[in-house]
Homo-oligomer: A and B are copies of this chain.
Amino acid sequence: MSNYPGYRGESLTFLKKHNVVVGDSVKVSSDSGYMGILMPRYEYSDDNHIVLKLENGYNIGLKIENIKKIEGITSNSMKEEKEITKPQINSNLPRILLISTGGTIASKIDYRTGGVKPMLTADELNTAVPELIKIANIETEVLFSEPSEDLLPEHWNKIAKKLDSYATSDYKGIIIAHGTDTMHYTTAALSFALSGFPIPIVLVGSQRSSDRPSSDAALNLIAAARFIVECAERGIYIVMHNNTSDDDVACHLGTRVRKNHTSKRDAFQTIGGPPAFLVKNETIMRNFTGAYFKTKEYTPRINWETRVALIKYYPGLDPKIIDYFLESGYRAIIFEGTGLGHVGKVMYEHVGKAKKKGLFLGMTSQCIDGAVRMTVYESGRDLLNLGVVPLSNMISETALVKAMWALANTKNIDEMEKLMKQNIASEYSD
């Protein structure tokens, strides 16, 4: 591995000249003084910045031409590396598979050293989060390594196919390390594609750069493993901090959850109720009493069709956007309407046109919480008359992903409408 991953041109020359390498603790004088660890860079990076991870856990990009001085404090090679120990297999404990797809959690998992390793091996994990070995035998696999904002339906496909290949394994459950930005889109996608999957699938991320012992990465991983071993409830979940406390981790239903804060460790929230489960140290507390999948049989249908438009309605929206979607061959529209599920009368003509062309038209609310109820006001009833289908309290992100999936797995609009209304993976809550 290069000492300068991601650096090129000007920045590479600069680092070589000053004799510092990625992983070093450095002191930089620029517009202000900074102390931090020199971080690697990624594809698409420019070549006139270096990136430091500061003590507060955040990364900062510093423009080379503004740097007055840079000096290494602790060199990478000098740093005391924690010894990597081969985990002992404990045959009394269940097996858990940990699949890594990228994101902060996967790249920073050896969080106590400050170094950056994008790969996650069982040995490294064991060294970084020694508590895990007491809970289960963790085996790891790297599927790909992408920040979650770059994931596409084809990545959902890869993940789902990989999971499907373990449907008859004897793992107690599967943990997926995943970036947080689009984690809830992925859980929704997997929930429909892998309906009835026989063992729990738990997505785990981290909200903070994790080079400190208090990082949420380790705690979320430990809670995920504990949930799988103790509870073993089938379903697709997101396990992340429940609040600022380090011994209260929430387990959210994967179709009822949103990332509701840009940076907090407890960014993920279940919409319309408490989290399904709480992992408080070694205790699992249950709030959710139903079954995640509404049919028991495992019926994989791994397919998405992206010609689904998402229209968030607002005053001033030009209804001609619908013409664009019609001309571009879109097959469905999910509205994020206002209030109980409305769009302005200005949209009616175009909504009617889309219906006539055979599109599926579904209504959710941009309020996020609460259900769409289109019989209360005249506007709602008008839209019902135009053929818009109310999607109750399904959240819009889940509805969008479900529409992509339903479109790919049905032959016509009537079948699609039926599938959209059916409660498959707790996307409709009581």
Interface residues in chain A, defined as those with a beta carbon under 8 Å from any beta carbon in chain B:
41-42, 44-46, 49, 58-61, 147-153, 155-156, 180-182, 185-186, 209, 258-264, 267, 304, 306, 308, 310, 312-318, 320-321, 324, 328, 336-346, 348, 365-373, 375-379, 381-382, 385, 397, 400, 404
Contact = CB atoms under 8 A, between A and B. Distances in A.
Given A42-B378, A371-B262, A328 B320 contact: yes
A373 B340 CA distance: 32
A324 to B, nearest CB: 5
A61 B375 contact: yes
6 contacts: A149-B339, A150-B379, A261-B370, A262-B339, A262-B341, A318-B328
Contact of A312 (B156, B310, B345, B373): B310
Contact of A150 (B318, B345, B381): B345
B379 A343 contact: no
A306 B41 CA distance: 39
Contact of A367 (B46, B260, B342, B365): B260
Contact of A318 (B44, B264, B306, B336): B306
A271 to B, nearest CB: 10
B348 A181 contact: no
B149 A259 contact: no
Contact of A262 (B153, B180, B370, B400): B370
Contact of A306 (B60, B308, B316): B316
Contacts of A314: 182, 185, 310, 397, 400
B181 A342 contact: yes
Contacts of A370: 261-264, 267
A234 B318 CA distance: 33
A316 B147 contact: no
Contacts of A366: 259
Contacts of A368: 260-261, 368
A371 B263 contact: yes
A379 B149 contact: yes
Contact of A344 (B151, B156, B344): B151
A180 to B, nearest CB: 6
Contacts of A181: 338-339, 342
Q: Which of A46, A186, A369 has the most CB of B within 10 A?
A: A369
Nearest to A375: B61
Contact of A382 (B45, B259, B378): B45
Given A152-B344, A346-B150, A261 B369 contact: yes
Contacts of A371: 262-263
A6 to B, nearest CB: 8
Contacts of A260: 367-369
Contacts of A306: 316, 318
A316 B59 contact: no
Nearest to A340: B262
Contacts of A343: 149
Contact of A156 (B267, B315, B348): B315
Contacts of A338: 148-149, 181-182, 259
Contacts of A261: 367-370
